[in-house]
Amino acid sequence: MLSIFDLLMDYVQTGRLELDPRLHPETTTFHDSCHYGRKSLQAFGHGYFEEGRWLVRQCCPNYVEMYPNREGNYCCGGGGGLWSVPFHEERVFHGRFKARQIRNCGARRVVTACHNCRDQMEKSLRKEYDLDVEVVYLWELLARSLAAPGRRSSGGSR
Amino acid sequence: MIVVQIGRLAQQLGVHRNTIRNWIRSGKLPARGVPGKRYLISEEDFHKLCHAFGLDPESIAVRRIPMKADQESPPQEPSVPLTQLKPRTNLLRASPQWADVCLTCGSCASACPISAVDGLDPRKVVRMAVLGLENQLLESDWVWKCTLCGKCEEACPMNVEIVSLIRAVRGKQPRDRVPVSLQRGLQTCLETGNNLGIPQEDFVGVCLDLADELVEEGWNGFRVPLDVKGARVLVTVNSKEPFADPDDMKFLWKVLHAAGESWTLTTEHWEGLNWAYFTGDDQTMRALVARLVDQMARLECRTLLLPL
Ligand code: SF4
Ligand code: SF4
């Protein structure tokens, strides 16, 4: 089994993906998803905290943190199935901390590695709390940062 | 009669000294004090006590003294049946340590972003489970409003497994209390292979269309790997993408292609979501994971990309 972080780190570190850090100069932050972070740390002894940050920095040199972060990070509010159930008000209420964190860090872009987090922040919190940000998937950021889009890597080994 | 010392008996039964003192004081364990801080117990009461703890009375070393009373008067029935000594069973008490380890400090309640919603918070949930108020928990919607985010656990100084408890409550609620959308999605997934019931030919059609678009966008030679045997990595799909945001599928495909990865999608049971995690239904959760394992075997893939 591989997590998306393991896979992407491997590609970038072995040179199989070439990224251009000039394409995304806007201030960018990384959202720690509860399950890749706290939950994974508890269940598997490793929380994916640093990998996402490292990958984002390869694309976005202008990187800022939200506080608290890593183990102490606030949930987007859409986890646990809440994105898919009709407790709309509670979901948005939970997300007030995340919205405040995003606003306070001043980023224009939030990167996350979870579908749930991305949908909650992009499709709900952005509107409910009037946030001027775009929310993108980690792999989306990489796809949009490729130095030579469309070309297949020849370097690196399996 | 049997001569017992409280400390020794407590050790033999694995209970606290005071527990035995309480039994004696309340009459639950008929015993007569004799000099030397010792007590006399009838043979029969001693047997009952041992049975209540699943112990063989013969295997416990005690001193017996013959007494006239043993033969003369029939042993008295204890006023309270000893079966009450059985450990209490509690549906939601996953760990016997909880009652002792929770400090009732409230750190979890302070950390939880939805504390006070519906008048509940994680500390109350833990206390309710410990105190046997499980019926109230099993009727509460609150456990579905929690996002299983783990902020509470992170704050807990005693490492109480609050998230597991909340998920256990979800799992023990009757299935008609599970939010309909989740339960229906799960049922659809069991029947059709994905949460939204997308037929196989539609899924394949979407994939082929997207691949054509990528070629048009300049990704020369891109082909979507469907059911490629022997690929290194099996990649699952989150059903909301082909259903609502198909273009989003292209991001990951571009990355995999650009990296020269050997990967494949499966056209059967390609769903990456496992909503049984949310509904607390371990059996279904396992069944859905087994499907992915089967797909890996079918396609001879060695690596699974953890569903996104
Ligand atoms: S896991 Fe649930 S109870 Fe714990 S902090 Fe998050 S929302 Fe609150
Ligand atoms: S933080 Fe832990 S110890 Fe404190 S009340 Fe909550 S569960 Fe109990």
Q: Which residues pair with B64 in a beta bridge?
A: B2
Per-residue pLDDT at B80:
63
Query: Where residue B131 falls among pLDDT bands split at 50, 70, 90?
Result: confident
Tokens representing residue A11 in the block: 């590609």
Residues in chain A, how many? 158
Q: What pLDDT is stored for residue A156 in this prediction?
A: 43
**What's the CA gap between B89 and B197, in Å, rounded?**
41
Tell if the CB–CB gap between A75 and B149 is shorter than 8 Å.
yes
Domain ranges of chain B: 2-64, 96-173, 181-305
Q: What is the pLDDT of residue B91?
A: 66
The owner of tokens 């998937």 is A137
SS3 category, A134: strand
Give the other-Cβ count within 10 Å of B16's Cβ: 10
Phi, psi of B101 (to 5 degrees): -80, -30
From the options 3.40.50, 1.20.1420, 2.60.40, 3.30.160, give the CATH code of A20-144.
3.40.50
pLDDT recorded at residue B82: 61
Contact list in B for residue A85 (CB cut-off 8 A) is 144, 179, 181-182
Please name which ligand lies nearest the alpha carbon of B120.
Answer: 1
Question: Model confidence over B267-289: pLDDT tens digits?
Answer: 999 999 999 999 999 999 999 99
B245 close to A (CB below 8 A): no
Q: Domain B2-64 is in which class?
A: mainly alpha
CB atoms within 10 A of CB B40: 17
- Domain residue ranges of chain A, discontinuous segments joined by +: 20-144
Find all residues with CB under 8 Å of B245, minimum gap 6, and list them: none
Condensed to tens digits (0 to 9), the pLDDT of residues B79-107 reads 666 655 555 566 676 565 676 789 999 99
Query: What integer pLDDT is reported at residue A158 of this predicted model?
Result: 41
pLDDT digits (tens, 9 = 90+) for B36-86: 788 999 888 988 888 888 888 888 888 888 766 555 566 666 666 665 555
Percent of chain B with pLDDT over 70: 90
Residue A117 structure tokens: 């987090």
Instruction: Tell me which residue has its CA closest to atom 7 in ligand 1.
Output: B146
Confidence of residue B212 (pLDDT cuts 50, 70, 90): very high
**pLDDT mean over B109-114:** 98
pLDDT at B34: 82
Question: What is the predicted pLDDT for the residue at B72?
Answer: 56
**Residue with more model confidence, B246 or B97:** B246
Query: What ipTM was reported for this prediction?
Result: 0.95
Task: For chain B, give the mean pLDDT.
Answer: 90
**pLDDT truncated to tens, each residue of chain A (158 aa)?**
899 999 999 999 999 999 999 999 999 999 999 999 999 998 899 999 999 999 999 999 999 999 999 999 999 999 999 999 999 999 999 999 999 999 999 999 999 999 999 999 999 999 999 999 999 999 999 999 999 998 887 644 44
Which amino acid residue places its CA nearest to atom 5 of ligand 2?
B104
Measured by CA distance, the residue closest to atom 5 of ligand 1 is B112
pLDDT tens digit string along B182-211?
Answer: 999 999 999 999 999 999 999 999 999 999
Q: For residue B251, give the nearest of A87, A139, A153 by CB distance.
A: A139
Interface contact flag, B113 A96, Cβ < 8 Å: yes
The token pair at A103 is 């606003």
